[in-house]
Structure 1
Amino acid sequence: MKVKVCGLRDPENIAAVNGLDVDYLGLIFHPDSPRFAGQASLSEWLSANDALLNGTELVGVFVNGEIDYLLNTVHDFHLDWVQLHGTESPGYCQELKLLWSVNTLRKAGISKAFSITPDFDFSRTNDYVGSCSLFVFDTGGHKQAGGTGRKWDWSKLKEYTGPVPFLLSGGIGPEDADAINAIDHPQFKGIDLNSRFETRPGFKDVAELRTFLDQLD
């Protein structure tokens, strides 16, 4: 099971979380987020400490960002993935993939987040299959961009029959290890952790994360 820890922005905390052997470290590049990670000092630290990550993949989270902003941020922050967490269209994702296929800029995988509500129709993901190699299923039904810290009804996952693997997101907390271990879905790739493991926005409780990760299969 892959593990992404998102909403990081402090170099010391990033290094400590990376020491837990997680697979993805998430940095949020939505200016309105209290976890905004777009500081030049962080870019400089990541460039100077590239070897420290030792294969851990960096994910940049964007909300309806201009494509030039994404391209520049992928380069400046050495990102391996972009996670599109707004209302980005299939055409937007296709344009991004095309741009990376025809130039020499640093390239990133494309992940699309979907806000899951009780009436969400998973066929909406079909038009993203050609451009996105990972989905994130997060809690829907709220007005603000980004996560809510609340869970959705994970039994709805049985309705997803698409070919793209996904990360489960939305309000996952220390008490959820057994429920996560019980998920049986062919495209379930892993989990996306954020606010339920924080001491304050942008700072993760490393000891609590370690205890939780030890409980996962």
Structure 2
Amino acid sequence: MATVAIDRGAPGAPRVKICGLRDAETLSAAVAAGARYVGFVFFAKSPRSVSIAQARDLALEVPPGVAKVALVVNPADEDLSAICDAVPLDMLQLHGSETPERVAEIRARFGLPVMKAVGVAGPEDLPAIARYEEVADQILLDAKAPKGAPLPGGNGLAFDWRLIAGRNWTKPWMLAGGLTPENVAEAIRLTGARQVDVSSGVESAPGVKDAGRIARFLNAAGVTA
């Protein structure tokens, strides 16, 4: 198994993932601000989608200690093989309707740690977390996409953070969904999250990351580069 990011930032500071990076400038801004993970989206419907060649070029610029994550949605084995063969990755993020069995299969076949996204809208969505904890290395708790939404994540929506306040799970978990520089500190306070993920919340337009908002997000989360 590949390793993930080493400790960076202030002692006790949450680990931050900047997802949906598409260019070297904002990748550099994320790393300089103290991001612990950087995410590349392989989902054609997303405005943040990158080609394998783009992702490879970007991944080669990431310094040691920052985990490179590929976000995929219900991927076929041949698609994962093409990505993993070309892009130096540290983790796969499964953001579709993958079953626990499929998560375990991907983890075993491709030899990379797996983060599984679980959509949350209400308390009825929380029991799924335990099923995925058995097979994934990390869990990402994201706002459940509205019915009929074209994207499974990155919609700028938040769920009621009180649903997970004070809860503990056996695997590391990451909070996502509707986080911004303006609300991330409150989200961390309410949930106790030690890891947070942001994409649309640090953009000036869909798919266009803003270096200033990235820096403000990391600062608001308590991270010092």
- Rate the CA distance shift 1:160–1:75 in 2: closer, same or farther, 3 A: farther
Deviation at 1:192, TM superposition (A): 0.4
**Could you tell me the TM-score, scaled by structure 2's length?**
0.83
Corresponding residue of 1:183: 190
44, 64, 85: which is aligned to 1:31?
44
**Matched-pair identity in %:** 27
- In the aligned structure 1, how far is the partner of 2:105 from the partner of 2:64? 30
Corresponding residue of 1:157: 164
Structure 2: state its 5+ residue gaps.
1-13
- In the aligned structure 1, how far is the partner of 2:123 from the partner of 2:208? 34
The farther-off stretch of 160-169 and 2-11 is 160-169
The farther-off stretch of 147-156 and 15-24 is 15-24
Alignment of 1:75-114 (within 5 A): 75-100=85-110, 107-114=111-118
- Rate the CA distance shift 1:210–1:150 in 2: closer, same or farther, 3 A: same
SS in 1 for 2:194: strand
- Rate the CA distance shift 1:79–1:123 in 2: closer, same or farther, 3 A: same
C-alpha distance after superposition, 1:75-102 (max 9, x if no partner):
31211111111100011011112224xx
Alignment of 1:52-201 (within 5 A): 52-100=62-110, 107-142=111-146, 143=148, 144=150, 145-158=152-165, 160-185=167-192, 188-201=193-206
- In the aligned structure 2, how far is the partner of 1:206 from the partner of 1:15? 9
- In the aligned structure 1, how far is the partner of 2:129 from the partner of 2:58? 36
**Could you tell me the TM-score, scaled by structure 1's length?**
0.86
> Which one has more relative contact order, counting CA pairs under 8 Å at least 6 apart?
2
Aligned length: 206
Deviant stretches of 4+, over 4 Å: none
